Each structure stands twice: as C-alpha cells, then as structure tokens.
Amino acid sequence: MIKKYTYGNPFFTESVVASFEASEGMPEVGTVNLDDGFSFLYDMKAEDAVYGLGEANRGINKRGYKYISNNTDIPNHHEDVYSLYASHNFIIISGERTFGLYIDYPSSLVFDIGYTKMDELHIFCDKADLDLYVITGESIYDIVKQFRQMIGKSYIAPKFAFGFGQSRWGYKTPEDFAYVVKKYRENHIPIDMVYMDIDYMDHYKDFTINEAFGDFSEYVEELKKENIRLIPIIDAGVKIEEGYDVYEEGVANNYFCKREDGSDFVAAVWPGYTHFPDVLNPEARKWFGGKYKLLTDAGIEGFWNDMNEPAIFYTPEGVCDVKEAMREFIDKDESVDDVWGIRDMVADLANNAKDYASMYHNVNGKMVRHDQVHNLFGYNMTRAAGEALREICPEKRCLLFSRSSYIGMHRYGGIWTGDNKSWWSHILLNLKMLPSLNMCGFLYTGADLGGFGCNTTRDLLLRWLALGVFTPLMRNHACLGTREQECYQFEQIEDFRHIIGVRYRLLPYIYSEYMKAALNDEMMFKPLAFEYPEDRMAVNVEDQLMLGNEIMIAPVYTQNAIGRYVYLPEDMMLVRFKAEGDIEQTEMKKGHHFVEVPLNEVILFIRKGKCIPLADFAECVADINTKKLQLLGYAGSSYQLYDDDGYTRECNLKMSRVIFNN
Amino acid sequence: MIKKYTYGNPFFTESVVASFEASEGMPEVGTVNLDDGFSFLYDMKAEDAVYGLGEANRGINKRGYKYISNNTDIPNHHEDVYSLYASHNFIIISGERTFGLYIDYPSSLVFDIGYTKMDELHIFCDKADLDLYVITGESIYDIVKQFRQMIGKSYIAPKFAFGFGQSRWGYKTPEDFAYVVKKYRENHIPIDMVYMDIDYMDHYKDFTINEAFGDFSEYVEELKKENIRLIPIIDAGVKIEEGYDVYEEGVANNYFCKREDGSDFVAAVWPGYTHFPDVLNPEARKWFGGKYKLLTDAGIEGFWNDMNEPAIFYTPEGVCDVKEAMREFIDKDESVDDVWGIRDMVADLANNAKDYASMYHNVNGKMVRHDQVHNLFGYNMTRAAGEALREICPEKRCLLFSRSSYIGMHRYGGIWTGDNKSWWSHILLNLKMLPSLNMCGFLYTGADLGGFGCNTTRDLLLRWLALGVFTPLMRNHACLGTREQECYQFEQIEDFRHIIGVRYRLLPYIYSEYMKAALNDEMMFKPLAFEYPEDRMAVNVEDQLMLGNEIMIAPVYTQNAIGRYVYLPEDMMLVRFKAEGDIEQTEMKKGHHFVEVPLNEVILFIRKGKCIPLADFAECVADINTKKLQLLGYAGSSYQLYDDDGYTRECNLKMSRVIFNN
C-alpha cells in the first residue's frame, strides 16, 4: 500500500508516473515536523536495517552513517563522502516494522541513519515543499516492486551494450580508437564498444567531431564492420563561441539557463566558458535532444551524458572574487591563515553553492532558482536525449547512460557510477551499489572497471573484471595521466581474454535476467537479505549478491587473496570457470565456506534446483550463438530464457522460452 | 647471515649499530645495476610474498604495489598513496628463496614490488650511495631477529604509557583538559593520559605554555593526583620571534638549518615562519633536546614529536613565486588551464620538493642538502629528545613517540602512525602495519583510534578501540573541526568503559609481551605467516595477528557486521569479554569459523596449551593489581610474566616470574 503525503508546494519532478491522492494527517510511521523546513524522525530498533538510496556510499545496509542528496561531481569516493553524483531518495526500513519511504524533493536532503543518534532515523531538508510516499507491503521485496511500479518502467538498453567496452580519457584521433580495436581483436579479447571521451570533439564542443576524423560516418561504418560501436560522450556545457551553431541557437531562443537578470548563465567546464541548456524547460529540452541526431545520422547508436550535475569548474563571478582576494593577498605579509584562505578560495571555485544559487531555469514561464531543483539536471539532460532518440530512431533502442541522475531518469537511460578510483575498496563499493540502484529502477549500470583515477594494477583489474562479468554495463575506463589499463597492456593477456570471455558466454543469461527485471519491475541484483529475510547470517552479508533468480555472486575484492569466505544460505552449485576453459561444478552445502579463487578464474553459485544457459565463447555480441546453449546447474531443472533481436523497442516476455537441463 | 654491500659513499645514518665488513662483488640474490643511480632487481616466483616496510600502505604482504620511502606529511592515506610519514627500508622476500634486504639510504627510494611487472621486485633510487644488507636465515622470523639485533634494542616506554589516552586538537585551556579528565573519571572509563596538541603552547612556540595555565607545574601536579599525565606535543619548527629564547639561541649559535647562502632556512608551519633545528648536527641536537627540560621540570613525563618530516606549509620563496603568478593571472582572460594552474601552484606550496632542495644541514662541518638526507629528520629530532631525556631523567623512562621516523629511531622512541581518518578501512590498515613496524624495531606504536580526520561514528570508535585494546599506544585522537569523539560523547557509555576496561585487565599481559619483545629483539605482533609458514591458509591471512606467544587477535573492521570470519591455524580457545563483565571461554578447532562479535565485546584467541594473565578492572595503570591475577586459557599451562615498577631504565627479563594455570 502506498500513501502519499504532500507538504507545501512540491516541485513537479515527474519521478513518479502513477498518481496518488494525497493523504491527510500524519504518516502512520515516524514523526513529521514542519517547524523548520521538513523533518522526519523514526526510532529504529537495534536490529533494523535500512536499504536503498541508489547510488550512495557505504554499505548495502545504510545504517550508521549520513547521506546527503546533492548531486556532486566528486571523483574521490572516500568512506566519509556524503554525496555522490546522484540523488535517489528511496529507502526501506526493515525490521519489526518494515516500510519504504520515498521523498520526492529535488534539492539538498539529508538522511541521517543512526549517525548522530545510534537508533534514530532523521530525514530533513530546508524547505517543506515535497511529496512523501510511505509504502508498506508483505515483504521488503514487495515494497520495492510497488515502488518500481509507481516510478515507471526502466530503460532498456540494446543488446550490444551488454558486450565489453573500452574507454580512456585521452583517445583523440581515429588512429587512437583504431589501435584499441586492433589490439583487442588481435588478442581475441571480446569487445563491442569503444568509448569516446571528450577529446573526440572539436574543442570540447558538443555534437562536433575533431578534424582528425575527416568523414566521421565513414569511420563509424568502418568500425561497425568489425562489430565495434563508438560511444561518444556528451557534456552538459555548450561552449560559448561565435559561429558555433548550438551556442547561437541556444542564445537566440533563450534555451540556456539564466542569471537572475535574465542574461545567460556562464560557467567554465572543459571547453572554457559555456552555457547550460535549460533542460527543465520542455522546449529547450526538445531542442537539445534533437542535436543528438547530428551523431546518430553518422551511425552512432549510443551515448554517455557527462558533467551533468552540472559540474562547474568556475564562473566569471567566482574568478572575479578570487582575483580581488589575490590582489589583497599580494600586498600582505602573509600569515598561515592568509595562505590557506587563498588556497581554499581557489579550490572552492569548483561546484560552488553560490554559483548554483545564481543560476535559473525557465519552468513553464516561471523562473526557478537552480539550487532548488539541482538534483534534476542530469535526469533531464538524459531525458532530453532519451525522448529525442525515441523520435530519431523509433525502430530501435539506443544505448544511453548518464553520470548524474534522479529517480525518474531510470526510464530514459542507465548510469555509470562516476569517477571512481583504482582502489580495491571500490570493487566492493561497486557491488554494494548494484542492488540499491536496482531498487530505484536503475538496471543498466556499472562502475569504471579497473578504476578511473589512480594507477591500476593487473590483479586489481582482473578481480574487478570478474565482478564486471555480471554487471550490465561492463566497461574498462581510466583517466588521462593514469597508467594505461586496456587489457592488452598487461602480462598474460590470456587471463583477460578468459575473464571477459566468460562474460560473453554468460551474456544470454545476463541479458535475459536484465530484460525480465526491466519488463517485470524486478531487481536484477538483490541483497541476500531480500531473498532470505529469515536467515540472520544472510541478512548481514555485505559482499555477495543474488543475480536474477538463479545465481549468487561473490567476487574477490582484496589484494593477494587466494580466495574468500562465502556464505551459502542454501545448498548451491559452485561453478568455476577455469583459466584453461574447463568448467567445474561442485555441489556445496548451506553454510560457511572458504572458496579458493585464482586471479584468472570466475566463480558463481547456482541456487538449488536451478540452471543457467551458457553460450560458446564469442568475440562480439553479434557472434554469440543463442541457439546453441548448454546449461549449467542442477539436473532436471529448467530456465526461462528471454531473447530478442537486441534492438526492438517493443519487448515482451512472450519472447522468452523455457529450456530444460536434462 | 648478514652480508653488507657498500655502493658509493653512503651517508652515515646510524640506523645500524652492529658493524659489518663490506662484502665484495654482487649479492648472491638479485641483480644490482649502478648505471643510473642504484637498481636492484629480483625475479619473484608466483607464490613469493614480501613483508616489511614498517609504516607503509596496503597489505601485510606488500606484493602488487609500489612504495616510495619519502617521509611526507600526508593526512589522506588512500589506497593509492606511495609514501607515508616514515621510511623503513627493510623487507623480507619469502618463498622458494627467503631473504631480507635492508637498504640504508636516507633519501627517496622506490620499492616496486610486482607493480610494474607482476613478478619483478625492483628497488631503485637516484644516487648509488648506500649500504645494502642481505640477510639470510633459517626462517622469516630468524631473519627478522638478525635484523633487529643489527639495528639495536627498541625503545622502552614507561608502564603508564600502556594506559588509555585521550587527545584532540583543540584543547587549549586548563579547563579544557580538566573537563576531559572529569568526564572520564566520573564515567569510570579508565584513562591515564591526556594529550596536549598545539594549542597548549603560547602561539605555537615550542617549550612554552599559553598564559591560561598560570603555574603549569602546579597544574601538572594536580592532574597527577588523579593519576593523569599530560603529554605535550613538540613541533619541529621554532617560531621566528624576537625575544623568544629558543629562537634567539638557535640563531646565535647556528643551530638552525640553513639556506645555501648560509642564512637560516625559513619555512611556515603552525606558528607562521619558523626555523628548523638542525638535528643532524650533534651540537644543535644536544641543544634542542635540552629544551625538553623546560617541561620535565614542570613534571611532564612524556612527549610526542610532530611535524617532523619536516612538514612545510610554505616558504617565503614559494609564496613569492605564487604572488608573481597571481599578478599574471589577474591580468589574464583566464582559461581552464590558467585557473587550475594557479590552483595547483597554491596547493603545491606545501611540502614542496623545491624547498627541501634548498635547505641544508651542517653535518660535522659539511653542508648536506636536506633532500639527500630527508628521511632522517624525524629520527634525529626524536633522538635529540631521547638522548636528552636520558640525561635529564636518568632514573626513569619517559614516554616519547614521533610522527616521522627512519630505522634507528626505534631506539629512542615509538611512533604513532600519523593523521589517519575515521574510515573503517583504517582499522585494518592499523592492524596491517603493526607487524611490519615490529619487524623494523618499532614496538611502542598505535594509530589514532576513532580516526583523526573526518567525523567518526560510535560503532567505528568501538570497533577500533577493540583493536586498540591490544596496541601498546592506545589513544583516541581527533582533528579540530571533526565530530567530538571522546568516549563520553556517545550513547551507552558503559560499552566504552567495558572495552577500555578490558585493556586494563589485559595490561599485565600486554606490558609483559611488549617488554619481552623489546628485551629479546622479538616481534610483539606477527603475521600468521611467521608462525605457521607451512599452512597455506595462515600464510594468506591479512586481517588477524599473533600477539606475543600466547594469543591471536581478529578484530571486526566493517560496519554493521555481526561478526567476522576467523581462521584458526591450530586449535585455540576463544575468549569473549562480554559486556556485563562475564568472560566466556570456548575451545575451537583448527579451521574456518564465523565468530559473532557484538559491538560491545572484545574477543581474543589463546593458543593451544597456553594461558594469559588477567587483572581486575582498574581505572588507571597505577591501580592495576598485578599481584592479583587470574589466568585465562588452557588448564595445566603456565605463563611467564614480566613485570616491574614501570619506570626503571634497567630492565631485565630476570624480573619475570612463571605463573601456573592449575
């Protein structure tokens, strides 16, 4: 059951598609106080766990920390970080009373989940203008399903997007991209996509291609012949440059975000000074989305939207203040406070709250200050693309994912979890985010495998890939200036071929489970707690996940480990993809196990009485023979396989067939 | 067997006390190349593990990453950090061939341990002026013992220093300190020390007390009546201020580090511009050490030396360059590169290599450029104090520990592992450093419990304290501006009283094992690999340690965990200190176990056939009744207890007695 409570005058975020009558009075759980903004208090019991928040830091169980919904370009995901790139305000409290809460509020919102007081859940924000949904149900999972139905169907990616992709900030010329393709293909490491980071553009101008490419559509076509799709990045900021059509059209039609005085808001990002398309304005959104056609016309079938928190490096106003402060500093006998003051002031130019408070949207003719709707920008930039692509290519799905998001965006695209690091702890963070993202409708998702920032190591990449084998988005991506981390850069390339090869062999299963989750409003990845709520041990597992209805995954995420502990909440079949290609299946009993996992192996666990399909090795998605599948798992079981052409927009579970493991 | 190889003209670091004839020719392991600086290469076997490096990042097994010996004031100990506050150039390669390497070289030195190439150990530095020691022996542990004998006996702390201490940057007045004492005492949480961070001084001037204190010695005496010792910080930089005697004496006698032109080198730290005492100059060292008497005369019995990498916030020369760059920046139409350029330039003022290259020491009349001996500064600052304190208080031990260090300093004081964070991962990092620090002679050591930077949480602090129960230095310390984390700031204070109470009950054992390790050149904390080298599982355990000869520890280091997996390499007795005060002993079999550990319990494992002494609860070290001990563990076993008055400098294992567990 879903009850909606409306406070003040909420901004219409369109995150919820179902409509609900607002209930009167107080919610039956917790205490709402409107004396000073909005505050929701709930006394947690000692054993209560809290799930959700989508892309958020820390555990599967969110208890014991503080989280702030405030979309931020933050490349350093330390344990103490409160805000990441996205705001997904849905949580479930599980315990004596189990219920879900969705707070539809697009500005800064704090979830203090037993951080300040060990047993207190406190949700609060400055303005009491929001919709609160309280969801009760038969189980945690029932609540998730109700929520998912309320927010609408998840985006469905084309099948090629389930292949492996290589990315790196720094690829610039056709030769750069061709080299990557050549190395993967000649080493027989499967791959379907090469991502184009900002340097493919002409001076970072959206919807342009740098001159090195010559005839871009010809180049796109050439790579497609090798079953490689190029996936360009699109940034939020439109370069200010006379003669650049996107800029000129935007200015002429008032499609950019404004300052209070009505002039176009200016912020520096990669191209230098830019304007932001006002994606909260339906007309501007339509216009900006239409620009993607410049690239689809060249044969492009997928995009990633970036910098759409929106990130701001600095504004002219901020720089002006800094220069004034520098003038004073120059004339001073500097003290420690002076030096640190100027240092912090320059560092704080980026993503400064003051700038977000001086930017405006035109929402149906009304000026809305950006900071009051901040968390909707990435959502609506991706919505712009999603809506446009549906018109541009009505006959087929396009790949689309975003860095920043809010619930509602899950209907238009996926997300990657932003600029992580080559840290072992980020493998685990990647795993922990998967179910919470699924709870919020984000199914097409994954992290930068191997880590974006910092220098990776061979073993880190291999272990991370062995998790990435299971995530819909499987991409190796790294930052300019870091160690080169394409799989062919390392010793014993056959290990990489093997691990990514396992992904391609499992792809029919992964695609099938993804599609079922999308079409049935299910979670593809679940915490064990959702499947085995009565098993106290399972409920507390933070480093294993259920994938679909058939398998459990338990990746290794520590360096120099020979294996890891795994808890089996029921009897399961350990499947081991050995480096030489052999597959070993071992029945294991419910309980605790130490499982050895060499660096070049992938393991998974099949639930009792289940089986999964396995294809032959292939080097690209198009070459996977879904007619020729073997089954792994328990004899006498069956599996319902969903499959399709990989691009039709009209998907239906009737397209699935049952296959038997005799 | 120890073989010494001398290359070029090594700087005499005095880290080694034994003398060795230099061997001719190539070492029998690895390949030395002197073509371009110094390079040592060794082909590791797939199964080789590498131990050591003292205070260093990452695992107990150091394989798979890169480490740079370059003492750095670095508060952010991320996984990707190569250098911390200390340089401890001792490693052991364990495998088909097992041997130790000590590279006595006081400047920047790289250990690439299978990072660039998976099987290659590569040690290198710019200048081939160093001593290389190759140590072979019967076992890993035999090599450690030989090394420890070669570098001389470890510092021995007074017994009170094994009590619990509270610290926070921000305590300033007598009232601040008295309040901490009052809250601990009235809540009956055991405590012996309150640490004085920089604000106790008069404008951060070393060896001064701010005026709020009035008669400081009276105040010190007053707290001692409550069995509380104040432990002041001493920073490396001496404030430049006319009329400040330490400054004036230093200038008059040329006791400060110099610029190339012979003027006193100037660097800003907390007091603003300062000079650094030239602790590599024996005369200056003696002078600086003598200053500690100003505080011991007031009754002070312990010190922590800080900022002695030495940290530099900026220099006048650096600021001058920045101001020049600012002038140019102000006149520019700024680009992204301009803004980031100036941002980075200001940020890079701190700990800048250019500054370290323009500072000089007077070593026996010879000017030595600081960057060539950089890693010796903290060592010699602490040596200054240690040598002086031996003269000032010949009759009793003083507490002394340092942030920065080099091997050799272990003879003069302990270390704490610097400015960590309130991160769960730092509990594990704390654990992993303990045995490697012990390998290098550092026995009196510990981390800032609860985390120095960032906001702690109640559960994090409790779990970290439950590890701190076992570390010689047990201190809760936090940074200005973070959440207050004294134990009385949290709910259910009884849990803190209990956990710290367990420390005091175990203190006779911890002190005894520490003393045995110090007097016998043993490790107090060992990786399981050192005790059970034939047990493949034990060899790979990275989150448990052996403590002394009797126990194994296995702290919980993840949030919301109900327990953890523990590997028992032999049958052991699980001892559980329950919150209500009960002690539960359970025999457990060799093998894998999941052990539940509530937040308010401490567990440890006693090895088969062993026992350990346990005192009654006490609120300060002086009140621990070592005559009234019970024994935990296996019936029929015995324990050799070392005990003494806690301050005598002439310690001897003859002072130990055997007690029987009947």
**What does the DSSP assignment read for B229-257?**
EEEEEEESPEE--TT-HHHHHHHHTT-B-
Of residues B78, B339, B491, nearest to A349 (C-beta): B339
Cβ distance B272 to A335 less than 8 Å, yes or no, reads: yes
d(CA B502, CA B250): 47
Please compute the mean of the pLDDT values over residues B250-260 and round it to a whole number: 98
Task: Give tens-digit pLDDT for A592-623.
Answer: 999 999 999 999 999 999 999 999 999 999 99
Beta bridge partners of B605: B552, B574
d(CA A201, CA A489): 26
- DSSP 8-class letter at A319: H
Q: Where are the alpha helices (DSSP H) in A79-230?
A: 140-151, 174-186, 216-225
d(CA B60, CA B544): 10
Task: Indicate if the alpha-carbon torsion angle B454, B456, B457, B462 is positive or negative.
Answer: positive
Write out residues 211-250 of B within 8 Å (CB-CB) of A.
Answer: none
Q: 3-state SS of chain B: helix, strand, coil percent to 5?
A: 30, 25, 45
**Predicted local confidence at residue B133, as pLDDT:** 98
d(CA B53, CA B82): 12
Contacts of A313 in chain B (CB under 8 A): 336, 339-340
d(CA A395, CA A386): 14
- In which band, very low, low, confident or very high, does the pLDDT at B634 lie, cut at 50, 70 and 90? very high
With beta carbons less than 8 A apart as the criterion, state whether B194 and B180 touch. yes
Question: Which secondary-structure segment (H or E) carries A282?
Answer: helix A282-290
Q: If you measure CA to CA, which chain A residue comes closest to B313? A: A336
Q: What 3-state DSSP class applies to B371?
A: helix
Q: If you measure CA to CA, which chain A residue comes closest to B566? A: A565
Closest by CA position to B607, among listed B639, B572, B656: B572
φ, ψ at A371 (rounded to 5°): -60, -20
Burial of B173 (0-12, 13-18, 19+ CB in 10 A): middle
Q: Hey, is the C-beta of B480 within 8 angstroms of any chain A C-beta?
A: no
d(CA B39, CA B105): 13
Contacts of A492 in chain B (CB under 8 A): 118
Is pLDDT at B25 greater than 90 in this prediction? no
Cβ distance A339 to B422 less than 8 Å, yes or no, reads: no
Is pLDDT at A409 greater than 90 in this prediction? yes
Could you tell me the CA-to-CA distances from A238 to A199, A267, A413, A419 in Å, in that order? Answer: 15, 10, 21, 21
Task: Respond yes or no on whether ipTM tops 0.90.
Answer: yes
d(CA B245, CA B249): 6
**Predicted local confidence at residue B379, as pLDDT:** 98
- In which band, very low, low, confident or very high, does the pLDDT at B13 lie, cut at 50, 70 and 90? very high
d(CA B131, CA B125): 12
Token pair, residue B633, equals 């563990």
- Cα-atom radius of gyration of chain A, to the nearest Å? 25
Of residues B79, B268, B270, nearest to A425 (C-beta): B79
- In which band, very low, low, confident or very high, does the pLDDT at B360 lie, cut at 50, 70 and 90? very high
- In which band, very low, low, confident or very high, does the pLDDT at B655 lie, cut at 50, 70 and 90? confident
Could you tell me the CA-to-CA distances from A608 to A523, A570, A632, B584 in Å, in that order? Answer: 20, 7, 12, 38
The length of chain B, given as a count of residues:
662
Q: What 3-state DSSP class applies to A615?
A: coil
Contacts of B565 in chain A (CB under 8 A): 565, 592, 594
- Cα-atom radius of gyration of chain B, to the nearest Å? 25
Mean pLDDT across chain B, nearest whole number? 97
Task: Give tens-digit pLDDT for A450-506.
Answer: 999 999 999 999 999 999 999 999 999 999 999 999 999 999 999 999 999 999 999
Cβ distance A540 to B559 less than 8 Å, yes or no, reads: no
Fold of A2-151: Immunoglobulin-like (2.60.40)
Every domain of chain B and the residues it spans: 2-151, 159-317+348-509, 318-347
**Predicted local confidence at residue B355, as pLDDT:** 98
- In which band, very low, low, confident or very high, does the pLDDT at A656 lie, cut at 50, 70 and 90? confident
Is pLDDT at A415 greater than 90 in this prediction? yes
Q: What 3-state DSSP class applies to A7?
A: strand
Contacts of A421 in chain B (CB under 8 A): 78-80
Number of other residues whose CB lies within 10 A of the CB of residue A586: 12
Q: Hey, is the C-beta of B558 within 8 angstroms of any chain A C-beta?
A: yes
d(CA A516, CA A262): 47
Could you tell me the CA-to-CA distances from A585 to A248, A378, B148, B173 in Å, in that order? Answer: 62, 44, 49, 68
- In which band, very low, low, confident or very high, does the pLDDT at B342 lie, cut at 50, 70 and 90? very high
d(CA B88, CA B410): 11
**Predicted local confidence at residue B111, as pLDDT:** 98
Could you tell me the CA-to-CA distances from A466 to A442, A499, A505, B470 in Å, in that order? Answer: 21, 6, 13, 37
- Please tell me the number of Cα atoms within 13 Å of A340 on its side-chain side: 9
φ, ψ at A355 (rounded to 5°): -70, -40
Is pLDDT at B274 greater than 80 in this prediction? yes
Which one-letter amino acid corresponds to residue A240? I
- In which band, very low, low, confident or very high, does the pLDDT at B276 lie, cut at 50, 70 and 90? very high
φ, ψ at B111 (rounded to 5°): -110, 105
Q: If you measure CA to CA, which chain B residue comes closest to A484? A: B116
**Predicted local confidence at residue A25, as pLDDT:** 87
Write out residues 6-45 of A within 8 Å (CB-CB) of B.
Answer: none
DSSP string, A166-188: E--TT--SHHHHHHHHHHHHHTT
Structure pTM? 0.98
Contacts of B490 in chain A (CB under 8 A): 118
Please compute the mean of the pLDDT values over residues A324-338 and round it to a whole number: 97
d(CA A601, CA A582): 10
Of residues A327, A336, A458, nearest to B272 (C-beta): A336
Task: Give tens-digit pLDDT for A168-211.
Answer: 999 999 999 999 999 999 999 999 999 999 999 999 999 999 99
Q: What percent of chain B has pLDDT over 70?
A: 100
Cβ distance B594 to A592 less than 8 Å, yes or no, reads: yes
Of residues B536, B542, B565, nearest to A565 (C-beta): B565
Is pLDDT at B662 greater than 80 in this prediction? no
Crossing angle of the two packed helices B458-468 and B425-439, in degrees rounded to 10? 20
Tokens 């450029």 sit on residue: B369
Cβ distance A79 to B567 less than 8 Å, yes or no, reads: no
Cβ distance B349 to A329 less than 8 Å, yes or no, reads: no
With beta carbons less than 8 A apart as the criterion, state whether A192 and A619 touch. no
Task: Give tens-digit pLDDT for A268-293.
Answer: 999 999 999 999 999 999 999 999 99
What's the CATH number for A159-317+348-509? Answer: 3.20.20.80
Token pair, residue B639, equals 């324990």
Mean pLDDT across chain A, nearest whole number? 97
Closest by CA position to B231, among listed B179, B287, B306: B306
Number of other residues whose CB lies within 10 A of the CB of residue A208: 18
Is pLDDT at A662 greater than 80 in this prediction? no
φ, ψ at B428 (rounded to 5°): -65, -40
Tokens 């008055």 sit on residue: B645
Of residues A336, A342, A565, nearest to B268 (C-beta): A336
Q: What 3-state DSSP class applies to A296?
A: helix
CA A257 to chain CA mean position, Å: 25
Task: Give tens-digit pLDDT for B591-603.
Answer: 999 999 999 999 9
d(CA A134, CA A556): 37
Give the 3-state secondary structure of B149-213: HHHCCCCCCCHHHHCEEECCCCCCCHHHHHHHHHHHHHHCCCCCEEEECHHHCCCCCCCCCCHHH
Number of other residues whose CB lies within 10 A of the CB of residue B578: 14
With beta carbons less than 8 A apart as the criterion, state whether A484 and A510 touch. no
Task: Give tens-digit pLDDT for B480-534.
Answer: 999 999 999 999 999 999 999 999 999 999 999 999 999 999 999 999 999 999 9
Crossing angle of the two packed helices B174-187 and B216-224, in degrees rounded to 10? 0
With beta carbons less than 8 A apart as the criterion, state whether A452 and A147 touch. no
The length of chain A, given as a count of residues:
662
Q: If you measure CA to CA, which chain B residue comes closest to A347? A: B343
Closest by CA position to B463, among listed B420, B426, B491: B426
How far away is chain A from the Cα of B592, in angstroms, using its nearest Cα?
A: 7
For the stretch A213-217, contacts whose Cβ atoms lie closer than 8 Å and that sit 24 or more positions apart, written own/partner, are A213/A173, A213/A174, A214/A174, A216/A298, A217/A297, A217/A298, A217/A299
Could you tell me the CA-to-CA distances from B209 to A387, B223, B290, B294 in Å, in that order? Answer: 69, 16, 17, 10
Task: Give tens-digit pLDDT for A136-149.
Answer: 999 999 999 999 99
Q: What 3-state DSSP class applies to A295?
A: helix
**Predicted local confidence at residue B661, as pLDDT:** 83
Cβ distance B536 to A424 less than 8 Å, yes or no, reads: no
